[in-house]
């Protein structure tokens, strides 16, 4: 990474003896940047619980004590916290709910993730993951996911397969993250994650990889189809039969109610809800770009190919 995270951490360490700043050696061949940085940090850490936290997260003072207490009380080998998403600009507020709603459709809430007995339903939030060192070492740590875009998700699945108890919990009052600050960053970030990351987490069933690109398109197209039908009819471009018109109106109304509820849950103005067709259009554009790139990833000045 080319930002000032290292320099900021070093300045803090100068005034706090509890903090040690570890700089990662040059990236080896076959490694993505984040797994290499995480492995380097894990090698330098001395605790029995390793906590991997993104530098752009904001945590409450009680987050770490609560994590440790929950892991010990529930006898977990891994605990990941899904925090709040900070949205400050127009495009953040329009697009982030689209992407996370699509993920919700795929995985369900935290309870669905935790109850599932299938490895491919297990996920973690890479912004905040705590793992017992013995469990981390048992599955090979980040070396086992060194060439994965969604290294957090793949690590959670490897832990589950190895018999390590895992959990994903909601902590919107303890953790928040502003993932992307502009439309360009949103496009680059989600284009990196959506295809190359998602294809690694598919169920091991015949044909899933072949239909995966089509499945990705379902969510935005399902939003756009009824709205497009109504707009083209209003423009006089073609006639809709009674059943089709009823479907278009009913579906559009249901979508509007869904987005009203989604924005109210996020403590945002309900006036964002009618803009969902624009959000779906941009999401469709991002997904199409991700499909074209496939497992080739460009991120922070580097080119990767997810294995």
pLDDT tens profile 29-58: 989 989 999 999 999 999 999 999 998 899
How far apart are the C-alpha atoms of 84 and 118, rounded to whole Å? 26
How many Å apart are CA 307 and CA 294, to the nearest integer? Answer: 11
Distance CA 79, CA 167 (A): 5
pLDDT value at position 175?
A: 97
Distance of CA 175 to the CA centre of its chain: 14
DSSP state letters, 137-190: HHTTGGGGGTT-TTHHHHHHHHHHHTT--EEEEE-TTTEEE---SSHHHHHHHH
95 and 283 in contact (C-beta within 8 Å)?
yes
CATH number at residue 59: 3.90.550.10
Phi (first) and psi of residue 210, to 5 degrees: -70, -40
pLDDT computed for residue 297 by the predictor: 62
C-alpha distances in Å from residue 77, one per residue of 48, 142, 231, 253? 11, 15, 52, 44
**Confidence at residue 306, expressed as pLDDT on a 0 to 100 scale:** 57
Rounded CA-CA distance 90/191 in Å is 19
Give residue 4's pLDDT. 83
**From CA 181, how far away is CA 34, in angstroms rounded?**
20
Q: Within a domain: residue 263?
A: no
Which residues does the chain have with pLDDT short of 70? 1, 237-240, 295-307
Does some domain include residue 42? yes
**pLDDT for the residue 195:** 82
In a domain, 95, yes or no: no
Whether residue 157 lies inside any domain: the answer is yes
Number of domains in the chain: 1
Residue 305 lies in a domain: no
Do the domain assignments include residue 149? yes
Q: Give the length of the chain.
A: 307
85 phi/psi in degrees, rounded to 5:
-100, 120
Q: Tell me which residue range forms the domain holding 71.
A: 5-86+108-179
Whether 164 is in a domain gets the answer: yes
Strand order in the sheet with 49-53: 49-53, 128-132, 78-82, 166-170
Report helix angle 276-293 to 208-234, nearest 10.
150
Write down the pLDDT at residue 176. Answer: 97
- What pLDDT is recorded for position 303? 58
Written in H, E and C, the secondary structure of 218-261 is HHHHHHHHHHHHHHHHHCCCCCCCHHHHHHHHHHHHHHHHHHHH
Give the pLDDT confidence score for residue 228 in this predicted structure: 93
Question: Which residue spans within the chain are E strands per DSSP?
Answer: 49-53, 57-59, 78-82, 84-85, 128-132, 166-170, 175-177, 296-299, 302-305
Q: For residues 14 and 19, what is the distance between their CA atoms, to the nearest angstrom?
A: 8
Left, alpha or beta for 42 (phi > 0: left; psi -120 to 50: alpha)? alpha
């Amino acid at each position: 990474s080319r930002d000032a995270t290292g320099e900021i951490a070093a300045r803090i360490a100068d005034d706090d003896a509890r903090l040690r700043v570890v700089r990662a050696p040059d990236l080896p061949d076959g490694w993505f940047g984040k797994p290499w940085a995480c492995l380097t940090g894990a090698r330098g850490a001395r605790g029995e619980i390793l906590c991997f936290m993104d530098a752009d997260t904001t945590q409450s003072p009680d987050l770490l004590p609560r994590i440790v207490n929950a892991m010990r009380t529930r006898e977990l080998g891994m605990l990941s916290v899904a925090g709040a998403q900070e949205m400050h600009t127009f495009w953040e507020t329009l697009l982030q709910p689209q992407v996370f709603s699509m993920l919700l459709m795929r995985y369900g809430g935290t309870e669905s993730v935790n109850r599932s007995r299938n490895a491919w339903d297990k996920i973690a939030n890479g912004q905040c993951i705590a793992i017992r060192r013995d469990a981390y070492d048992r599955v090979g740590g980040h070396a086992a996911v060194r060439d994965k875009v969604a290294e957090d998700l793949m690590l959670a699945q490897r832990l589950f397969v190895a018999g390590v108890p895992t959990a994903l919990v909601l902590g919107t009052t303890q953790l928040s993250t502003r993932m992307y600050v502009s439309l360009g960053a949103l496009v680059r970030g989600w284009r990196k994650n959506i295809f190359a990351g998602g294809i690694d987490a598919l169920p091991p069933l015949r044909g899933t990889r072949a239909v995966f690109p089509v499945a990705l398109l379902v969510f935005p197209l399902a939003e756009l189809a009824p709205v497009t039908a109504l707009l083209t009819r209003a423009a006089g471009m073609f006639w809709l039969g009674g059943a089709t018109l009823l479907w278009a109106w009913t579906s559009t109304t249901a979508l509007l109610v869904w987005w009203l509820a989604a924005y109210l849950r996020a403590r945002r103005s309900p006036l964002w809800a009618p803009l969902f067709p624009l959000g779906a259009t941009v999401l469709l554009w991002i997904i199409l770009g991700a499909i074209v790139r496939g497992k080739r990833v460009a991120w922070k000045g580097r080119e990767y190919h997810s294995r």
